[in-house]
């Protein structure tokens, strides 16, 4: 009986911890509130198909994006965890490199917000930003940071095929910065917003 009285509190504590740390599917609608201690897991591996290296080229101008899935990243001061799609990029305009953050992929940040590209939201037809999506298509929505100019953008990625080759179609929408009339104009982002089609590169 004494042993039971010792084991029971331990069991109740473990049960309480489990109840406070639920595992939730990132693809399910969770509203706007995140649960402290929760793990938002990519249960159905919906982020995996977006991984890879992609390149857009137009003459001497190119945009290279590398996307990777990061498991159980902490976000928002370690209050909860996410499976995240993270990435970095390089933009070259008329042969001149404007920005290159690819080296950050070699750093294992515990907080996914430290990467230039990040997010875990899966969107489908009917969602904002997925107007052209097919009925069963799953696109990705996240954010992009320009660390040189401190601009932020909404980023939407769709998986497509171009001449039989895997590719992505991205939409970059730079957010307007609020400023007072007396403030100077903020610097422009390192590359233009809009639509880009990037071809997936073979794995090395």
**CA–CA gap between residue 146 and residue 14 (Å, rounded):** 43
Round the average pLDDT of the chain to a whole number and report it. Answer: 87
pLDDT at residue 30 in the model: 60
**CA–CA gap between residue 48 and residue 42 (Å, rounded):** 9
pLDDT in tens, 108-143: 998 888 999 999 999 999 888 888 899 999 999 999
Q: Region 47-71: what's the mean pLDDT?
A: 98
């Amino acid at each position: 009986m004494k042993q039971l009285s010792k084991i029971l509190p331990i069991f109740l504590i473990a049960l309480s911890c489990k109840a406070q740390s639920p595992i939730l599917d990132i693809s399910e609608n969770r509203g706007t509130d995140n649960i402290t201690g929760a793990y938002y897991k990519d249960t159905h591996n919906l982020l995996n198909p977006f991984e890879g290296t992609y390149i857009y080229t137009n003459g001497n101008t190119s945009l290279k994006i590398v996307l990777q899935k990061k498991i159980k990243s902490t976000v928002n001061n370690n209050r909860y965890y996410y499976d995240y799609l993270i990435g970095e990029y390089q933009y070259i305009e008329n042969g001149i490199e404007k920005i290159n953050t690819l080296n950050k992929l070699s750093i294992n940040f515990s907080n996914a917000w430290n990467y230039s590209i990040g997010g875990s939201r899966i969107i489908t037809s009917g969602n904002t930003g997925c107007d052209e999506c097919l009925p069963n298509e799953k696109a990705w929505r996240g954010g992009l940071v320009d660390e040189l100019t401190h601009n932020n953008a909404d980023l939407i990625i769709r998986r497509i095929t171009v001449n039989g080759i895997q590719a992505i179609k991205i939409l970059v929408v730079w957010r307007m910065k609020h400023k007072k009339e007396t403030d100077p104009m903020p610097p422009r982002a390192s590359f233009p917003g809009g639509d880009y089609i990037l071809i997936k590169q073979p794995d090395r």
